[in-house]
Amino acid sequence: MRDGRHRKMGWVGVGLLVSLFLLASPARVFSQGRNVRTYTIKNGRMYIALSRHIDKAQLDSFIVQYDLSDLDLPRALYSRSPKSFKPLNKMGWRMDIDNNQMVVISKAMIGLGNMNDPAKRMTLTEDHPNSDDLFPSENDNLLFGFNRFVGKFPFAVTDSFVTFYVKGHTRAREVLLAGSFTNWQNQAVRMTSTDSGWIYVIKLHPGKYWYKFIIDGNWTIDRENNLSEDDGRGNTNSVYFKTNAVFTLQGFVSARDAFLAGSFNDWNPGDLPMYRTFNGWQIHLYLAEGTHTYKFIVDGKWVEDPKDGDRLPDGHKGFNSVYRIGKPHLFVLNGYNQAKSVVLAGSFNQWKPYELFMHKTAAGWELPYTIGPGNYEYKFLVDGKWIPDPANPLFVEKKEANTRNSFLIIAPNHTFRLQGFEHAERVYLAGDFNNWTPGALHMKRVGDDWVFNIHLSVGKHLYKFIVDGKWIKDPDDPLWEGNEFGTDNSVIWIEHN
C-alpha cells in the first residue's frame, strides 16, 4: 500500500486523492494504482481494496489467495448496480469507497468466542490446515503402502515375523525399539546386539506401522529408511509397511525401468518403481482388502499385466488388470429384465459409471465384487438412470445433491444396543458414520433390546439413537460430550487392533 505508487500517478491522481480525502477519509490510506488489490487491517477492521481496472484473472487469483470465494467480489467490482453490494452488506461488510477507480470494503474484526476457555482456545488456535496427525488410524482409508529403504530391501521377513534392524551403534549400552505396535515408549522392546548392529524380531499383521529407535535414551528415526512422516518441525517417525501383495511382470528384461500404477495410488505413473529380477520385474506392496485395478508402465508405456486374465474396462476403450484381496460380496438387483445394461458404482470404485457391468440372471442382475471392511455408499445405473438398491433399506441422505445412496456395511465390528425402551415402536441409529441421517439405520428388536451392527473405523465416533422420532444419547454409555446444538452426543472410541 505504501509502495510509492502514489508518485507515479501524476497530478490527476493527486487531484483525485485530494477529492477522495474530502469525501471519504478511509481513501487516504488506500493507494489508487490501476492494479491495486490489497487485504489489510486498520483500526480493528479488515479492509479489502480493489482497483476497478484489475482484470478477471487478477481478481480470481486474489480470491484464491485469500480464500474469498463466498464474498462474490466479481459482482461487487464489475456490476455498477446498487444492489450488487447487498449480499456483502448482509455479511457485515461496509462499503467505504465506491468510485470509478476502486472499491474498498471493510468489516469489523470480532472475537472468536471466549479464549479463556482452554478447549475453545486450543480449537481456535489449531494449525490450519491440519498438520499430519501422529496417531493415524491404520485401517482408515489406507489403500496401499510401499517401503522405501536406503538399501534395496527392507527388513527381513519370515512369514509374519519382521526383523527390525538398526545398523552400527555397537558401543551403545541399550537400544530400544518403540512404535505404534509397542504403544510407543510404554512397551518399548529391548533390541539384541549383533556384530553389525541391533535386531528385534516381532510378529506383525499386514499394514502400516510407525517406529523409532531409542539409542541410549536418544530417540532417532531409522536412518536406513527413507520413509518417514512428520509435520516438518522435527517430530518425525519412520514408517514401515508389512506387505501382503506381490506384483510380478515377466519379461521386458532389456527395459530401462518399470513402474506399477493403479487405483490404489491414483494412477500416479512414477510413484512405485519395480526392481529387476532375473527374468523380469517385481514390487511388494501393502494393499488394503478390496478390489484394485492396475497397469505397468514399462519405459513410459502403459501395459496390462500379460499373465492376469482378471480385468475391467478402463474407460478409454482398454482394460485394467485387477488384484483382489478378501471375500467377494454379491450385489443383486432383481427385475429390470428389459434393461440393456446395469452398472454398479459406489464409493468403493470412485463412482465410475463404466467399470462394473452386472451380469444378467434369470431373476435380474448380479455381480460379485470384493470390498474390504467398512461402510460404503452405492447405486445402480440402469440404462443411464441412477437408482438406489430397492432391496436395501439402509441409505444415506445426500442433502447437497437431494438424493439418497444405498448404504452397505461390510464386516461389522461393533454392535450398538439400546436397552430400556421395550415399548418404543421404531428406533434408529445415527452418527458421524452415516452423515447423521435420521430414519436410515433401523435398529432391530432383539428381546427387549434394540440392536444394530455396523463397521466403525479406528478412532472416535459420535452417535445418538432416535426413539419414536426423539433424539436421545445412549443411556448406557458413560461417555458423551456437548455439541453445537446444545444437546449431547454419545462418544465411542474404537481402539487399534
Partner 1 sequence: MNRSLIALLFAFFAFLIRAQAGDPLPVHTHSIVIDPIVTSDSVSCMIPFTRAGNLILIQAKADTMQGFFVLDTGTPNLVLNITYFRNYPASNPTESGGITGSVPAAAQTKVDSLVLGPVRYYHMDADLINLGHIENKKGIKIFGLLGMKLFEHFEMIIDYDRSVIYLHLINKKEAPTYKSAQLNDTLAYSIIPIEISEDKIVAHGLLKGRKLKFIIDSGAETNVLDSRLPNKVFESVVITKRVQLTGSGSAKVEALYGDLKDIQIGGQNISTLPVLITNLQSMCDSYNDCIDGMLGFDFLSLHKIGFNFVNHKMYVWK
CA distance 201 to 160: 10
Contact range with partner 1 by CB under 8 A, out of 73-81, 233-241, 394-402, 466-474: 233-241
Question: Concatenated DSSP letters for 81-138?
Answer: -GGGGHHHHHTT-EEEEESSSEEEEEEE----S-TTSHHHHHHHTS-SSPPPPSS--T
Residue 496 CA to its chain's centroid (Å): 19
Beta carbons of 343 and 262 less than 8 angstroms apart: no
Q: Which of residues 20-59 bind partner 1 (CB under 8 A)?
A: 39-44, 46
CA 55 to CA 74: how far, in whole Å? 10
70 vs 195, beta carbon nearer partner 1: 70
459 binds partner 1 (CB under 8 A): yes
- Residues touching partner 1, count (CB under 8 A): 63
Query: Please, what sign has the CA dihedral across residues 115, 120, 124, 127?
Result: positive
Residue 47 or 378 having the CB closest to partner 1: 47
Residue 185 interacts with partner 1 (CB under 8 A)?
yes
Task: Rank residues 14 and 479 by Cβ distance to partner 1 and give the closer one.
Answer: 479
Q: How far is the CB of 6 from partner 1 (least distance, A)?
A: 16
Closer by beta carbon to partner 1, 113 or else 469:
113
Find the binding residues for partner 1 in span 73-112 (CB under 8 A): 107, 109-112
3-class DSSP state of 64? helix
Between CA 345 and CA 315 the distance in angstroms is 14
Give least dist CB 326 to partner 1, A.
25
Cell for 425?
Answer: 415402536
Report the nearest approach of partner 1 to the CB of residue 435 (Å): 15
Each residue 113-142 as x (binds partner 1 by CB under 8 A) or -, in order, gives xxxxxxxxxxxxxxxx-xx-xxxxx-----
Radius of gyration of the chain (CA): 30
- 463 forms bridges with which residues in the sheet? 431, 490
| Cell triple for 300 | 513410459
Cβ nearer to partner 1, comparing 119 with 362: 119
Instruction: Write out the binding residues for partner 1, residues 235-254 only, by CB under 8 A.
Output: 235
Q: Which of residues 288-317 bind partner 1 (CB under 8 A)?
A: none
Give the whole-angstrom CA distance, residue 337 versus residue 253. Answer: 50
Q: How far is the CB of 226 from partner 1 (least distance, A)?
A: 20
CB closer to partner 1, 179 vs 346: 179
Spatial distance between the Cα atoms of 341 and 383, rounded to a whole number of angstroms = 5
Nearer to partner 1, 21 or 135 (CB): 135
Q: Which residues contact 491 (CB under 8 A, 6 or more apart)?
A: 460, 461, 462, 477, 479, 480, 481
Ranges assigned E (strand) in 251-372: 258-262, 272-273, 275-277, 280-287, 290-298, 301-303, 311-313, 319-325, 328-334, 342-346, 356-357, 359-360, 364-370
Cβ proximity to partner 1: between 309 and 478 the closer is 478
Tell me which of 9, 24, 68, 245 binds partner 1, using CB under 8 A. Answer: 68
Q: Does 2 bind partner 1 (CB under 8 A)?
A: yes
Q: How far is the CB of 126 from partner 1 (least distance, A)?
A: 5
What gap in Å lies between CA 262 and CA 293, rounded to an integer? Answer: 5
**Beta carbons within 8 Å of 479's beta carbon, 6+ residues apart:** 490, 491, 492, 493
- Which of these ranges, 143-151, 296-304, 309-317, 472-480, lies near partner 1 under the rule CB under 8 A? 472-480
Residues of span 200-229 touching partner 1 by CB under 8 A: 217-219
What is the closest distance, in whole angstroms, from the C-beta atom of residue 471 to partner 1 in the complex? 16
Least Å from the CB of residue 118 to partner 1: 4
Nearer to partner 1, 133 or 468 (CB): 133
Cis peptide before 129 (omega within 30 of 0): yes
Binding positions for partner 1, rule: CB under 8 A: 2, 39-44, 46, 65-68, 70, 107, 109-128, 130-131, 133-137, 184-186, 217-219, 231, 233-235, 459-460, 462, 478-482, 484-485, 491, 493
